[in-house]
Amino acid sequence: MANLTLIQAVNDGLRTAMEADSTVYVFGEDVGPKGGVFLATENLTRDFGANRCFDTPLSEDGIIGTAIGMAMNGLRPVAEIQFQDFIFPAFDQIVSEAAKLRYRSGGQYTAPMVIRTPYGGGIRGGLYHSQSGEAYFCHTPGLKVVIPSTAHDAKGLLLASIADPDPVLFLEPKALYRSVKGEVPEGHYTVDLSTLRNVREGEHVTVLCYGAMVPVCEKAAARAAENGIECHIVDLRTLLPLDEEGVLEAAKKTGRVVVVHEAPRFCGMGGEISALIAENCIEYMEAPIIRVTGFDTPFPNTLEHHYLPDERRVLDAIERSAAY
C-alpha cells in the first residue's frame, strides 16, 4: 500500500499496465519528457522508452484515429487528450468509429483502447479548460464512460479499462488530482466497471454523484448530519454502462434523491438517472428528485465558483428533499 494522490495513482496505473503488457502504448500531446501538463505520465518515457510513451503532433483527431488502428491490429493504446475540452476534434473518430466498430463489423474488428482525459472545473481555466462533457459520450452506444473520484479507484478502474475489450473514455477529475489522497495497493488490481461505490451510509436522503462532486457531497452530508439528516452517498464511478440496479436500490433506500453533477443540466446524467428512478420505482419516492448541476451556459471564468455546485448548494437541496 502506498499513500498516493489521484494523479499519482493514475501514473501508477499506467506504469503497472505497461509493465504487465508490452502491447500497452501511451501517447498524446506533451506526455513524453514533460510527463503531461498535469504530470500523469511523469517519467514513463524515461522508464519505458520513447517507443512506449511518446509525444504526438498536435492533432486529437490523429491521436484517436491512429489509436483505433493500433487497437484493431493488436496493440492496447492508452491515448491522452490534454483537456477534455480539446477532445472534440476527435469526436468523429470516437463516436463514429471507435464506438461502432464492433457493431458494424459483426464483431470481426474491435477497438479495445482507453482515452484518458482531465475534465471539469476548479482551476480557473475558463470555458475551454473546464468542461464536463460526459453526457455527449454517454449518448454513444458502444463506448464506456468511467470517472474515478478516489486514488484507489483511479488505479483500479484504469487497469480495468485497459483490460476491457471495448473502448473506454476515462475522465479524470482534474480538481481532485492533488486534493484527493488515499491508500493504493501495489501491483495489479482492478475495480469492476459498472459497479457503483457506496461512499456513506444514511437513511434519510440519497445523494448520487461522481467525479469531483463526490467530496463536495461528502462535505454537504457532514453538515446535514449536524442537523440530523443522514445521507446515503453513492459514487456512480462508471456512467456507461450504468449500475442501474445499484442506483435503484440506493433510491429506494431513502425515497429521497438528490443528483449532483457539474455538467450542464439539460440532457445531462441527472435527467437520465431521474428517468430511470421514475420509470422503475416512483412509488418509493417521498419527494421530487432534485438536480444540483452547472448552469445551462458555457463554463464561466471568474465566476466559476458560482457555476460549480458547492457544498452549500448541495446542502440546500438535501434539506429541501428531507423537508418535503
Ligand X SMILES: Cc1ncc(C[n+]2csc(CCOP(=O)(O)OP(=O)(O)O)c2C)c(N)n1
Query: Where do contacts with other proteins occur on this chain (CB under 8 A)?
Result: 29-30, 32-35, 37, 55, 57-59, 61-62, 85-86, 88-89, 124-129, 265-266, 295-298, 300-303, 306-307, 312-313, 316
Q: How far is the CB of 11 from other proteins (least distance, A)?
A: 15
Q: How far is the CB of 10 from ligand X (least distance, A)?
A: 19
Q: How far is the CB of 185 from other proteins (least distance, A)?
A: 29
Q: How far is the CB of 197 from other proteins (least distance, A)?
A: 28
Whether the Cβ atoms of residue 143 and residue 97 lie closer than 8 Å to each other: no
Question: Could you tell me which residues come within 8 angstroms of residue 3 by beta carbon, excluding any fewer than 6 positions away?
Answer: 181, 182, 183, 184
Q: Which three cell numbers stand for residue 124?
A: 480557473
> Residue 129 catalytic?
yes
Q: Which three cell numbers stand for residue 241?
A: 454502462
Whether the Cβ atoms of residue 148 and residue 172 lie closer than 8 Å to each other: yes
Q: How far is the CB of 128 from ligand X (least distance, A)?
A: 7
**Residue whose C-alpha cell reads 506533451 in the numeric block:** 30
Q: How far is the CB of 304 from other proteins (least distance, A)?
A: 10
Q: Which three cell numbers stand for residue 90?
A: 476527435
Query: Given the complex with other proteins, which of 51 and 302 has the nearer CB atom?
Result: 302
Query: Given the complex with ligand X, which of 117 and 274 has the nearer CB atom?
Result: 117
Query: Given the complex with ligand X, which of 66 and 195 has the nearer CB atom?
Result: 66
Query: Given the complex with ligand X, which of 90 and 250 has the nearer CB atom?
Result: 90
Identify the three-state secondary structure at position 308: coil
Whether the Cβ atoms of residue 44 and residue 116 lie closer than 8 Å to each other: no
Strands of the chain, DSSP E: 2-5, 24-28, 53-55, 76-80, 114-119, 144-146, 168-173, 181-184, 197-200, 205-209, 231-235, 238-240, 257-264, 290-294
Query: Given the complex with ligand X, which of 29 and 311 has the nearer CB atom?
Result: 29
Catalytic, out of 129, 152, 232, 261? 129
Q: Is the peptide bond before 241 cis (omega within 30 degrees of 0)?
A: yes
Q: How far is CA 247 from the centre of its chain?
A: 17
User: Which residues would be at the binding site for ligand X (CB under 6 A)?
Assistant: 29, 58, 60, 82, 86, 89
Q: Which stretches within 121-260 are classed as H helix? A: 134-138, 151-163, 213-226, 244-254
Query: Between vectors from CA 138 to CA 143 and to CA 271, what angle results, nearest 5°?
Result: 160
Query: Given the complex with other proteins, which of 220 and 242 has the nearer CB atom?
Result: 220
- What amino acid positions are annotated as catalytic residues? 129
